[in-house]
Amino acid sequence: MSRILHALSTLTDRYQTTIPEPVRQALHLGKRDKIGYTIDNSGKVFLERADEDDPVLDQFLTFLVNDMKHHPEHIQPLNAALFERASALISGVEVDLDSPLNDRDE
């Protein structure tokens, strides 16, 4: 396996370190992002950007799952009129999911 990126950082007396800039860029890490660590049997550590769970969204999705399990009769297909209305509402809207939030959005 060839190395694509190699970087070093120092562990402080408080067991803290700074993630080197090339690693932050490669993982698209920003301030307050979470980092996941995986250690294999040989002791190699793999670092990845961790997706944050949204507790409100998790609760809502759990509610939906339970409702669908207990009341499948409530599930209805999306009709063409509703699909066209939703499409019209988002027509021309462009979203870049990789762009950073500005200060007022954080």
CA dihedral 55, 16, 25, 51 (to 10 degrees): -20
Contacts of 36 (CB under 8 A, 6+ apart): 47, 48, 49, 50
Alpha helices in the chain (DSSP H): 21-27, 55-70, 80-90
CA dist., res. 34 & res. 44, Å (int): 20
Q: What is the DSSP letter of 60?
A: H
Question: pTM for the whole thing?
Answer: 0.46
Q: Is the pLDDT of residue 71 over 90?
A: yes
pLDDT in tens, 30-66: 888 889 999 999 999 999 998 777 778 889 999 999 9
Length of the chain: 106
